[in-house]
Amino acid sequence: TLPLRMERHEQNAMAFAKFLESHPKVERVIYPGLPSHPQHEIAKRQMSGFSGMISAVFRLDAETTKNVVTKLQVITLAESLGAVESLVQIPASMSNQKIPREIREKHGLVDGLVRFSIGIEDIKDLIGDLEQALMD
């Protein structure tokens, strides 16, 4: 079932990345499937698909970013990737929290950076989940 799952991961990730890219609270989306990604052309030549991994830098401070992520109901807060369910994490306060702030920020691990591992759920549910979490 891997080819079918990967196809769904990639379809969902592309739609989710496009949604993120159009959202006013998102500063930047990091996904090689988007034409705006600096290595998009290289990725097209080297990859048969773009996976379900997306990072986005939100125009939010650390506390607000955490609040948005904790409001998610369909996407699960967890440090993992590649599962059939969608997962999310905040690298600066989770997997990289012990790294000093100045070193994290030097390498792009800012407070508003959120990493999504997009699963195979209905894309409308995933986008709707993030929309409700981002509402003021």
| CATH assignment, 2-134 | 3.90.1150.10
pTM above threshold 0.85 = yes
Per-residue tens of pLDDT for the chain, all 136 residues: 888 998 999 999 999 999 999 999 999 999 998 888 877 678 878 888 888 999 999 999 989 999 999 999 999 998 776 689 999 999 877 666 777 778 777 877 788 899 999 999 999 999 999 999 999 7
DSSP string, the chain: -HHHHHHHHHHHHHHHHHHHHH-TTEEEEE-TTSTTSTTHHHHHHH-S---SEEEEEESS-HHHHHHHHHH-SSSEE-S--S-SS-EEE-TTTTTTTTS-HHHHHHTT--TTEEEEE--SS-HHHHHHHHHHHH--
